Amino acid sequence: MSEPAMPTTILILSVDEAHLLEDSLPAAVAQPGASVVVIDNACTDRTRSLCEATGAHVISLRERVSYAAAINAGILGTEGDAVLLLNADCVLDDGFLDAARPRLDQHAVGSVAPRLIRATGMGAADRLDRLDAAGMVVDRRRKNALVGHDEPATGYAHVAEVFGGDGACVLYRREVLEACAVGGEVFDELLELWASDVDLAWRARLLGWRCMYEPRAVAWHMRFYSPTTRAGLPEAHRRLQFRNRLLMMAKNDAWADVRRDLHRIALYELLALGHVLLRERHLLRAYGAALRALPATRRRRAVVQSQRPRGVRPPFGLRAPR
Q: How does pLDDT run across 9-38, given as a tens digit for each residue?
A: 999 999 999 999 999 999 999 999 999 999
Q: What is the pTM of this model?
A: 0.94
- Domain shared by 54 and 151, yes or no: yes
Instruction: Check residue 35 and give its pLDDT.
Output: 96
CA distance 112 to 135: 9
Average pLDDT over residues 116-140: 96
The verdict on residue 297 lying in a domain is yes
Number of domains in the chain: 2
- Domain shared by 157 and 276, yes or no: no
Contact of 151 with 131, CB cutoff 8 Å: yes
Q: Enter the DSSP assignment of 191.
A: T
- Domain shared by 95 and 36, yes or no: yes
Average pLDDT over residues 98-119: 97
Range of the domain at 213: 8-221
Percent of the chain at pLDDT exceeding 70: 96
What does pLDDT average to over the chain?
94
- Looking at the DSSP bridge assignments, the partners of residue 60 are 40
Q: Which of 192, 221, 250 is the endpoint of a domain?
A: 221
Residue 2 has pLDDT above 60, yes or no: no
SS3 36: strand
The verdict on residue 157 lying in a domain is yes
- Domain shared by 138 and 99, yes or no: yes
Residue 4 has pLDDT above 60, yes or no: no
- Domain shared by 32 and 104, yes or no: yes
SS3 41: strand
Q: Which of 186, 172, 217 is nearest to 8 (CA)?
A: 172
pLDDT tens-digit map of 235-251: 998 999 999 999 999 99
CA distance 242 to 48: 35
